[in-house]
Structures are given as C-alpha cells and as structure tokens.
Structure 1
Amino acid sequence: MEIVPERNTSVSQLIVQWAYTGIRFALSNGTMIGFLTFLELLIVLRRPDIVDKDNRVRIVSVEEMLGSYDFVIIGGGSAGAVLANRLSENSNWTILLLEGGNDEGVISDVPSLASYLQHTEVDWGFKIENSSTYCKGMVNNQCNWPRGKALGGSSVINYLIYVRGNRKDYDQWEELGNSGWGYDDVLPHFKKAENVSIPDLRASPYHGTTGYLTVERARYKHPIASYFLNASFEMGYSEVDVNGETQTGFMYPQATVRNGRRCSSAKAYLRSTAGRENLHVRTGALVTKILVNETTKTAYGVEFVRENMKYTVRAKKEVILSAGTIQSPQLLMLSGIGPKEHLEEVGIRVILDSPGVGKNLQDHVGIGGLTYLIDPPHDSSTSTLSEVEQFLAERNGSLYDISFGEVIGFTNSRYQ
C-alpha cells in the first residue's frame, strides 16, 4: 500500500489518502475489521461534527474524585445517563456516574454499521446458557446476548428503531397492581423525553418536541422499502404512526437519530450536561460491590475497580443501581442481596434475603433472521467506497440507512 504524496500535500491529506487506500485494501480482501478501522480514522479526520470535541463528556480522573457524593449512579447506560442529567439539574447536589466501559466511539454514529458493533469493545460479549430448544444453530446451542459497554449502554449498539410498546401492555401492568404504569400515566414521560423532528408528527398529541432524545426518520431510504410498504397496503393495512393512536399497521421506522446519526442516551443526556460542575463521570470503573449497612439495610457507598486498583466512594443520599438487565441483579447478589440459599451456596454473606433478585430473567438474544438475496433495484449503489465518500463529504447515502428494518409493522395475531 505504498502512497506517493503529491507535492505540497499536508500530513493530514496524506493520512486521508492512506486511509482510503486502506479501505480499498480491506474491501478487496473482505476484512471488515480493517474497513472499520480505516473508516474510523477518516471520520476523525473529516467529520468534526461526529467527533464533537467541544461537547464530549469530560471524564474525571480518580484523583479528582470526591470521597463522597450525594448520589452515586452505577451504570451510565440508557437509564443512568438520564438519571445523571436529571439529578445534576439541582446544583446543590453532587453526583458521581460510574461506567464500566468507555465513551462511545465515532463508529457507533454510523447507523448502517449497528450490527458490527457486537463483539467489539462496546459490547460486554455475553452469551446465554446452552439450550436444548433454541439457538440450536449456534456453537454449543448458545446465542449472543449483546449488552452495551460504554456511556450510553445498549443505546450505543442497538438498531435505533423507536417503538414504545403497546398501550395494552402498560394497562395490563397497572391492572396487575403497578400503580402509575398505565399507558395514560407513562405517555407524558415519553413525550417529555422526546424531540420528534418528523414534520407531520410535530403537532401530534402522542409526541414531544422539547426533550433531549431526538427522533427522526432515517436520512437514507433504501429503494426496496417502498415495495414493502406498498405490499402492506395490498394486504389491507394502512400506514400508521405505531407510537400514536393505534399500533396496527405499517410505517417507515422512527429512529433515535439526530441529523441522521445515532442519538444514544449519552449523546442526548450527558453531552448536554458538559458544563455542570456538580456531575462527575468516571469510565472504566467496574463496580464490584454495593456497601450496605446490615442493621438499617441502607446502601451507603460502592466499591469499584479500575486498572486492577480497588476504590471506595460513599453516598450521602442514595446509591442508584442502573447496570442493566444482567448486571443489576448480579451486583445485588455480589453485595449480599438476593436468594439466601444461592448466596450461601456460592459463599456470599447474606445481607438481605430477597428471593426475587435474578428471577424472571428472559433471554434477549442477538441472532440473524431469514436472509436471502434479491436483485438490486436499478438505482441502488453497489460501491461501498462511494458510499463512504457520500457519508464523509456529502453527509448522505446508504451508511445513514437504518438497515435493520426498512419498514416495520404490527398486526393482530391469534393462536389457534
């Protein structure tokens, strides 16, 4: 890959030329890791809006950290970022946000590359236990269970589609005794969080326009999408807003993107707090234990590990656990809170016998669906290199595609 620089070529221009040569080489050899590496370099050099240097979260050093904070939040993911934002609105409180991963990388901004983020440094890389009934096409009958390991958590590696759920699910939760979880109760919170940029939804009573989380249509629409949507019309369905009055029907997806690029909870809720001195964010900090007063059963601090060093920090008011579906119950049990028999079995001192911790865990696997080849529409691009240039220079093209679902829909079904 020898490059002969032109006369008067700057160092940055030379690096750009070298990176494009690297991408060509990676594409010709089918090396996805190489492609992502060189694309990341080109984004850093040519897309300062993605690098977003002025608004990135400032990570405090361990030496800068206080010995105690009013609130200590464990996990800077989809929930933790929101909590850090909201609590730090009160300038009289001090907040520490601890995240096991690092800041989200620039590649995660590229919508069409979502599936390639699994098994990278922003994914915890979990696998489910082996099963005799599903994941039978996988090694040892084990599917991957993607979980985000970065500021923004799984909102950094998900497929971006914005769907809130069905009204009846929320109403059923309320009927089961969960007061305040009915659809009419949660809708105002969805609206408060959202800033919908889709023109025909700005005035909708089901959407918000002043929240931190941006919701848009994908900037790129694959030519085949219209065929899928028209097919749904032929079947008798209508185009609907699945986050609106009725969910039955089809639509081009709404997505958690801003200016066509991923809008993670870190981008939405943490970068907007960059100037708040009462919020400290520490990445690469793996919390290993919640400190609990055995008499009062009150959490008063946490232990965490960074670069093989153990640290302790205290909470004056609350420890807030938002470490995700897997690691929240795991951390409770490591801290002595969980089913007594299991804790004693693995040698953990029981602080509180709580049999429900870790129960009703349901697999959320990452697995490919049915995949098949089609003849490409006449106006679709087949050159990945040209798509890279479109993304970098023209800020459009298929790398802005929400490729997981060109059209989404909900239908009524009934078991026979």
Structure 2
Amino acid sequence: MTSSYDALETRTPADREAALMAALPTQVAHAQARTAAFGQVLAGVEAARIDSRAALAQLPVTRKHELLERQQAARAAGGNVFGGFSALAFGAAMPRVFASPGTLYEPEGTRRDYWRMARAIHAAGFRPGELIHNSFSYHFVPAGSMMESGAHALGCTVFPGGTGQTEQQVQAMAELQPAGYIGTPSFLKILVEKATELGLPLPSLRKALVSGEAFPPSLRDWLKERGVDGYQCYATADLGLIAYETPAREGLVLDEGVIVEIVRPGTGDPVPEGEVGELVVTTLNPDYPLIRFGTGDLSAVLPGPCPTGRTNTRIKGWMGRADQTTKVRGMFVHPGQVAEVARRFPQVRKARLVVSGEMANDQMVLRVETTEMAEGLAGAIAEAIREVTKLRGEVELVNPGSLPNDGKVIEDARSYQ
C-alpha cells in the first residue's frame, strides 16, 4: 500500500523543483502561441524568463469566472466554444467534450491518462489486473471518464456503473466481485446500505477512491468498520488531478504534473507556508495549458514529507471557498479590494474585513495585523477603505498572529434572522 506509482514520487524535492521550473517556460510559450486566450492574457510576457516561482507569481491569475466569461462571450460571437483556452480543435485529437455547471466546456485529449488519475488510484491501493466499480457520472461532467482513463492506465478493468440504479449496481457488485469502488463517498454509503438491505454480501469490496464531496472521518470510519478502506483525492474538470491521499492519511500529496501556489484570496500574492489561501494551479498539460488558474478553493501547505516516502508537497485538502465577495449597504465588497487597501501600507502584515450588524445596518471593521499601533495609521487606512470601496469603515490594529489562519479576507458576521 505504501509503494510509489513511479520514480517521480520519490525524487528529491530539489530535482522535482528543477524539473518543474525547466518545463514552465516552455508551457508558458506554448500557451501564448497555441491558445488565443493566453495569447492575450500573457501578451508581452517573455516566456523564457518565467523560470522560477517568483517569476510565475508576477503573472495574472485567471479565475474560473473569467474563463466562463470568455467562453460565453466567444460562443455568443460564434467563436471558439472554449473561449480560446484549448490548444485542441474538434476532431480525432479531441475525442470528447464535457460540460460543468455554468456552463463551462472542457476538452479531453487522447494522451494516456489524460487527467493523471492513475497516481491517485494507485495510492488508494488498486493494482493492475483488478476490476473497479466506477460510480462517477459518465454524462456531461468528466468525472467518470477521468477515473476510467486513469484506471486503464494503471492496468485495471472498469465497470461503468455511473449514478443511480442502486439495486442494479449492488447486483452487479455481488456478481462481478470488484476489488473496489470509485465515486462519491455518499453514494458508496448508499450502496453498502442497499447491499445489507438486499442481503447481498460484497466480500470483494475492500478499497475505495472517493472525491467530489467532503469525506469526513466519521464516514471513513463507518466504511472501515464494514471492511472498506476509503481514500480521497482532489481534482477538477479543468485541471485533472491536483492532490491525493496516501495510506499515511496526513494531508494530500500534490500530483507530479502541476505547479501549485497558495495565494491570498482576491490577489495573486503567495502566502507564507502554512497560511490558508486560495489554490492557484499551473498545469503542464499542453492540450489545455492553464497558467495560474485560480481554483477558488482554500487550502494550506503542510510541513515535511509524507511518511510513505513520497517527497512532493502536501496540502491540508479542501478548506472552503476563496470567493468571499459580500454585499455591504447595497454595494459589493471584494477580497481584492481588501488586498488593495492592505497593499498601500507596508506596515500591514495581514488584514480581515469583518462585516457585522443587522441587514440594512451594516458595520465594517478592518482588523489589521501590524507592529505599529500609531493612531495616524488607523486613520490613513480608514481613508483608503473609503476610497477603494466607496464605503465607510473602522480600523482595528491588532498584534501579529491575532487573526485566524482560515483564509478569510472578508468575514460576514451579520445576523440574518
């Protein structure tokens, strides 16, 4: 269970970083040349100079809502359905197109293990020659195909169960005897309960890779009591695999095919290691070369390597959403505006806007971590708040370390009763 999928997982961190940074300029140049969207987003960028994390951090973050807006605008004009982000065109090089809520369209290329899921499936204990029951959806969204292509790359056979038809799926499990399950954790629980109700034992079902929703320890333990070891992974339809759980169960290990940054919500500025922020991912996939793609998800880096011997960075997993845009007195306040206020004052280490009161009687207080408690600083920050947000707000200066490490830039503490 602790063996690695390939040598990439156990290379030294220095070798990994060197390889990623060597590949980065080529990927940036490829995105500029082969996709109209990044040709515009990265106009004027000298790709050869983007060979470090510091240089990467200077590039703009493209967030999901911007990708959606570009897709919608292009489609409305009769243009590229992918908004100019795909390096592939319809035809043999793109066997499938998928849709995510929004509607966002994602291409699937032909390369082996296109979504890079085999690594996560292997870490969950699956091995070549096994049958996997895949209960992720096979229509519209890519989840079913993501897992199936990864399982095939690993050398496994797949039963495409999809969603629904609970009794039929349990019957198939009882007869085919799969080694394990892939799908959402909640549906696995439903299947196990249905098998008990029908009196159909599932003795072969001993492992599972779950994703798509929260996998709390309580459910993990419930499954374990019934003989199923469940592991989780973090992936998106845009990026494929981002991180996966190992038998150590200490955070999620980053995939080998992505460069991950954690930035302060509303900005592209990397946060110190251990601080919660938004996951920003650069993928090395040449078919869909997303550069600094903001996932909108919060997480944080864990210190040290995985006890299984995998040497890549570990993250805590999903910790909430980064988009904390809040309406105050009829006007939207964005995390980026909070960041803009903080950027104007080098004395500010961290800031958190707290909105309190009752609806129609909103109060804003910007809590600021700083070592300089001068009254003049608070007044200057208050003026900046009004200039940037067009709203009045108070300022509270606090000592460094006073604000929670939860990734929140805007806290809505109002009563909605």
* Both proteins in one fold, TM over 0.5: no
TM-score (norm 1): 0.26
Q: Which structure carries more strand by proportion?
A: 2
Higher-RCO chain (CA-CA 8 Å, sequence separation at least 6): 1
TM-score (norm 2): 0.26
